């Protein structure tokens, strides 16, 4: 049974960057989070239809961040080149390009990206991940040694169907490896912007193990990662496989944080409300002092922040983003213009709100000149502050 703990109000499609003419047709939904008592899963009350988010206009491109390119390259080296591998949600091939097309299969629902991996030589299934597709893949390619997914499984509402399909496609000793933002990270950072349409769930190890187990799999190892503001890389195998200490340790830690209890999330909701007040106060003060405030990175996360906190072009002049598909468009819901960093990140900027706070190390390194001339960043993670 789901129990609601947080209401983030009316929200648009987080990656639905749009032109002015499209505003009249913009789609909105109510974003509410709940705790499922049976599995301890933190999940949305109502899910948004996948076709509205993952279509041929999907704008998020994994290769846009140096951090993520390096992250996937490093991880790919830990996988033996004689294993065959299937990736669910292969995006622009940022992970798969580290493997030979003879050994790797891509699954991707967004047509623009499915075409890219196809053109790179990878057998690509332009489809959502489900049991019928898993059966088709086994028929055409045989069982797989490794199924990989990065920032994808938490995008899929029906986890039982996802795990059943993985269980079908894996060979007897196969491993399912997937990484997503962690619930512990979100609670510790007060990063409620991890919640948006594309993230119907924020995972704890406890909840994942509960749901994997009812589908023939179990968590056998956990790695804690820094990416995306704190993620977990989960290794799952068939029930009965050897379980690594990291699984027990992570579950213990999650219990200490109270991630198996509803009251923890009620407390979190209170902190979220305070964060909204604090962020609006700082931005309003900057405007009053006639300072120029922009946002750094047109992220899906900042869609949640701007819409929940009612932050529009009155408080943020514009957003800079390196992704060509986003430039020249408006941010979802609040319609703040997006331009390239070359055009917008210049001497006139006084404050930059870190929409892409999860890439803070990469950004500070890149923007040394801005920092040296006195430019400031604003963040809400873990507390609202100017840095
Ligand atoms: P995401 O948080 O939804 O994954 O999106 C990150 C966005 O931030 C992506 O559109 C690229 C953008 N970005 C920049 O504009 N500059 C940067 O230095 C970094 C790291 C990301």
- The per-residue pLDDT for 54 is 87
Q: Is the CB of 363 under 6 A from ligand 1?
A: yes
- The per-residue pLDDT for 64 is 80
Q: Any idea what DSSP says for residue 155?
A: G
What distance in angstroms lies between residue 343's CA and the mean position of ligand 1's atoms? 16
The C-alpha torsion from 292 through 293 and 297 to 302, rounded to 10°, is -160
- The per-residue pLDDT for 67 is 87
Model confidence, pTM: 0.94
Contact between 39 and 93 under an 8 Å Cβ cutoff? The reply is no
- The model's pLDDT over 206-224, given as tens digits with 9 standing for 90+, comes to 999 999 999 999 999 999 9
Rounded to whole angstroms, the Cα distance separating 19 from 36 reads: 38
What is the mean pLDDT of the segment spanning 315-331?
Answer: 96
Residue 120 has pLDDT above 80, yes or no: yes
Q: Give the residue, 251 or 229, on which the prediction is more confident.
A: 251
The atom number, within ligand 1, closest to the CA of 65 reads 20
- The per-residue pLDDT for 53 is 86
- The model's pLDDT over 153-176, given as tens digits with 9 standing for 90+, comes to 999 999 999 999 999 999 999 999
What is the mean pLDDT of the segment spanning 128-137?
Answer: 97
Q: How far does CA 169 lie from the centroid of its chain? A: 25
- The model's pLDDT over 11-59, given as tens digits with 9 standing for 90+, comes to 999 999 999 999 999 999 999 999 999 999 999 999 999 888 888 878 7
Rounded to whole angstroms, the Cα distance separating 194 from 197 reads: 10
Rounded to whole angstroms, the Cα distance separating 259 from 255 reads: 6
Nearest CA to ligand 1 atom 15: 321
pLDDT tier for residue 354 given thresholds of 50, 70 and 90: very high
Which of 60, 64, 68 to mutate for ligand 1's pocket (most ligand atoms within 8 Å of CB)?
64
The atom number, within ligand 1, closest to the CA of 323 reads 10
Q: Is the CB of 60 under 6 A from ligand 1?
A: yes
The atom number, within ligand 1, closest to the CA of 59 reads 10
- The per-residue pLDDT for 108 is 96
Contact between 65 and 233 under an 8 Å Cβ cutoff? The reply is no
- The per-residue pLDDT for 115 is 96
Q: Is the CB of 297 under 6 A from ligand 1?
A: yes
What distance in angstroms lies between residue 216's CA and the mean position of ligand 1's atoms? 37
Q: Is the CB of 321 under 6 A from ligand 1?
A: yes
Phi, psi of 173 (to 5 degrees): -100, 15
What distance in angstroms lies between residue 250's CA and the mean position of ligand 1's atoms? 29
The atom number, within ligand 1, closest to the CA of 359 reads 20
- The per-residue pLDDT for 271 is 98
Residue 247 has pLDDT above 80, yes or no: yes
DSSP 279-327: HHHHHHHHHHTT--EEEE---HHHHHHHHHTT--TTT---EE-S-TTTT
- The model's pLDDT over 135-145, given as tens digits with 9 standing for 90+, comes to 999 999 999 99
Rounded to whole angstroms, the Cα distance separating 279 from 375 reads: 18
Q: Any idea what DSSP says for residue 330?
A: B
- The per-residue pLDDT for 61 is 82
DSSP 161-229: HHHHHHHHHEEEEEEEEEEEEBHHHHHHHT-GGG-STT-SEEB-HHHHHHHHHTTTEEEEEEEEE-GGG
Nearest CA to ligand 1 atom 19: 65
pLDDT tier for residue 293 given thresholds of 50, 70 and 90: very high
Q: Give the residue, 387 or 139, on which the prediction is more confident.
A: 139
Rounded to whole angstroms, the Cα distance separating 158 from 123 reads: 25
Q: Is the CB of 298 under 6 A from ligand 1?
A: yes
Contacts of 49 (CB under 8 A, 6+ apart): none
Phi, psi of 236 (to 5 degrees): -125, 145
Pairing label, strands 293-296, 201-202: unpaired
- The per-residue pLDDT for 281 is 98
Nearest CA to ligand 1 atom 13: 297
Q: Is the CB of 94 under 6 A from ligand 1?
A: no
What is the mean pLDDT of the segment spanning 349-356?
Answer: 97
C-alpha neighbours within 13 Å on the C-beta side of residue 11: 29
Domains located in the chain, CATH noted: 15-263 (3.40.50.150), 278-386 (3.40.50.720)
Q: Is the CB of 61 under 6 A from ligand 1?
A: no
Q: What is the mean pLDDT of the chain?
A: 96
């Amino acid at each position: 049974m789901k129990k609601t703990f947080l209401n983030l109000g009316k929200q648009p499609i987080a990656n639905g960057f749009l032109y002015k003419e499209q505003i009249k047709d913009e789609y909105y939904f109510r974003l509410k989070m709940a705790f499922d008592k049976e599995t301890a899963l933190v999940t949305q009350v109502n899910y948004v239809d996948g076709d509205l988010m993952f279509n041929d206009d999907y704008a998020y491109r994994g290769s846009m961040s140096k951090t993520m390119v390096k992250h996937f390259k490093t991880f790919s080296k830990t996988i033996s080149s004689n294993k065959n591998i299937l990736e669910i949600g292969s995006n622009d091939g940022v992970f798969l390009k580290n493997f030979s097309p003879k050994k790797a299969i891509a699954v991707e629902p967004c047509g623009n990206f499915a075409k890219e991996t196809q053109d790179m030589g990878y057998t690509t299934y332009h489809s959502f991940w489900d049991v019928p597709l898993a059966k088709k893949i086994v028929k055409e390619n045989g069982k797989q040694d490794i199924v990989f997914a990065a920032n994808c499984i938490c995008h899929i509402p029906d986890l039982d169907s996802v795990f059943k399909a993985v269980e079908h496609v894996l060979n007897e000793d196969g491993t399912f490896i997937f990484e997503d933002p962690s619930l512990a990270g979100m609670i510790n950072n007060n990063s409620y912007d991890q919640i948006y349409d594309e993230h119907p769930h924020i995972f704890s190890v406890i909840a994942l193990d509960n749901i994997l187990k009812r589908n023939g799999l179990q968590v056998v190892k956990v790695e804690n990662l820094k990416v995306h503001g704190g993620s977990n890389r989960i290794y799952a195998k068939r029930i009965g496989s050897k379980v690594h200490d990291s699984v027990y340790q992570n579950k213990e830690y999650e219990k200490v944080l109270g991630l198996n209890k509803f009251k923890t999330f009620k407390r979190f909701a209170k902190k979220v409300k305070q964060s909204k007040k604090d962020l609006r106060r700082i931005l309003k003060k900057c405007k009053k002092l006639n300072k120029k405030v922009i946002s750094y990175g047109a992220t899906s996360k900042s869609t949640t922040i701007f819409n929940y906190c009612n932050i529009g072009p009155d408080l943020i002049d514009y957003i800079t983003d390196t992704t060509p598909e986003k430039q020249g468009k408006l941010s979802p819901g609040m319609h703040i213009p997006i331009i390239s960093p070359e055009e917008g990140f210049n001497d006139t900027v006084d404050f930059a709100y870190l929409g892409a706070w999860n890439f803070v190390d990469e950004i500070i390194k890149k923007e040394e000149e801005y920092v040296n001339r006195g430019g400031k960043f604003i963040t809400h993670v873990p507390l609202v502050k100017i840095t």
